Amino acid sequence: MQPGRSSRTAMYNALFRALEGQRGSHTRLFVDPLAARFLTAPLAAVVGLAKVPGGAALVHRYIDHRWPGVRTSVVARTCLIDDTINNTLDRRTAKRWQFVALGAGFDTRPHRLTSLRQALPFEVDHPDTQTAKRARLAGAGAVARTDIRYIATDFNVDQRCPLLEDHEYDATAPTIIVWEGVTNYLNADAVDATLRWCSTVARGSILIFTYIDRNVIDDPSSYVGTHNLAKSLARSGEPLTFGIDPQQLPGFLADRGFRLLSDRGASDYRLLYYGDCARNMRGHEFYRVAVAGVERSGQSSRSTEAAHSITTLS
Ligand SMILES: C[S@@+](CC[C@H](N)C(=O)[O-])C[C@H]1O[C@@H](n2cnc3c(N)ncnc32)[C@H](O)[C@@H]1O
């Protein structure tokens, strides 16, 4: 991230979500009523252009040409994560669920998902992004919740569990942690330290996180669209720095106290939400969404990993 500036990539994700909500009521995958609030003037103008007749097709075509697959991957993964949260919250527990968004950016799930209304929400993010988000939400009125607990941290610098800083966080209550669009911008130590403290939350908790296939860092030219994407990310000060080999993911997580429940790549989750249209979508195939259960608080569980089958949640 650029010093003193909120995350550009977080803003682009908000743009893609705002644009999705403007598609026709029969075709759109979700509506995010707050997304447009977070956009700076040029990106707000893009949303404005998408409202005029023929504008949306033009805007989508331009974005998809410039960054192949990114918009559709962000939209489909938003649905996949929403559905995983909704399915998880169907489970009854004796205690109230808690919801933690790590690197929350301009994500608005606590405000827009009905299933999260009863959950206690926490957002952990870099101070520069969090300050901008809070300022933009200030005038949002009744659509925005006012009970979010905000905790500012830099994952690359401070590797202690930030939740412990909030006395309302209940370490014995089940928690859904969403870590979306973040690991690929961190260093390996920060990912490791964050996963280790995530694994200390109550058993029965769920971690939903995204990561990139590390092959895209080693061999970017083998993927469609990476040239322009890498240039844009470098300009934003948010280059791709960390990835995992999907084959290694079950062991990687087991070593850190998690059991992998599902792991889907962008081609797969786009197919799930866009149906046959997804067969013509190219780009961002290296992007993945994983769901893991907290297995044994803070302990390695490699020995038991083989005993569990990998299930698919949706
Ligand atoms: C691509 S955005 C994702 C935002 C949101 N989760 C989403 O999916 O739309 C990356 C997020 O990671 C956060 N981030 C990046 N580096 C960070 C760091 N070192 N410490 C804390 N947060 C960081 C940014 O502030 C931003 O909110």
Q: Which residue in this structure is represented by tokens 């029969």? A: 26
Rounded distance from Cα 179 to ligand 1 centre (Å):
9
Q: Which of 163-167, 235-239, 265-269 has the lowest mean pLDDT?
A: 163-167
Is 303 a residue whose pLDDT tops 80? Answer: no
The H-assigned helical ranges of 35-91 are: 41-51, 55-66, 70-89
Is 311 a residue whose pLDDT tops 80? Answer: no
Say what the pTM is. 0.93
Mean local confidence (pLDDT), 295-299: 59
Pocket around ligand 1: residues whose beta carbon is below 6 Å from it? 1, 7, 9-10, 13, 103-105, 107, 125-126, 129, 153-156, 180-182, 185-186
- pLDDT tens digits for range 25-37: 999 999 999 999 9
Could you say which DSSP state residue 64 is in?
H
Widest Cα–Cα separation across the chain: 58
Is 71 a residue whose pLDDT tops 50? Answer: yes
Is 299 a residue whose pLDDT tops 60? Answer: no
Mean local confidence (pLDDT), 174-185: 97
Measure the CA–CA gap between 132 and 130, rounded to whole angstroms.
5
Residue nearest to atom 13 of ligand 1 (CA): 103
Is 82 a residue whose pLDDT tops 80? Answer: yes
Q: What is the pLDDT of residue 297?
A: 56
Rounded distance from Cα 306 to ligand 1 centre (Å):
32
Measure the CA–CA gap between 183 and 194, rounded to whole angstroms.
10
Residue nearest to atom 4 of ligand 1 (CA): 105
- pLDDT tens digits for range 87-118: 999 888 888 999 999 999 999 999 999 999 99
Confidence of residue 309 (pLDDT cuts 50, 70, 90): very low
Rounded distance from Cα 254 to ligand 1 centre (Å):
24
Handedness of CA 153, 156, 160, 161 (dihedral sign): positive
Measure the CA–CA gap between 233 and 105, rounded to whole angstroms.
16
Looking from the CA of residue 128, the nearest atom of ligand 1 is 25
Q: Measuring CA to CA, how many Å separate 75 from each of 31, 189, 206, 209, 266? A: 11, 29, 21, 15, 10
- pLDDT tens digits for range 194-228: 999 999 999 999 999 999 999 999 999 999 989 88
* Mutation probe of ligand 1 site: the residue of 12, 39, 129 with most atoms within 8 A of C-beta: 129
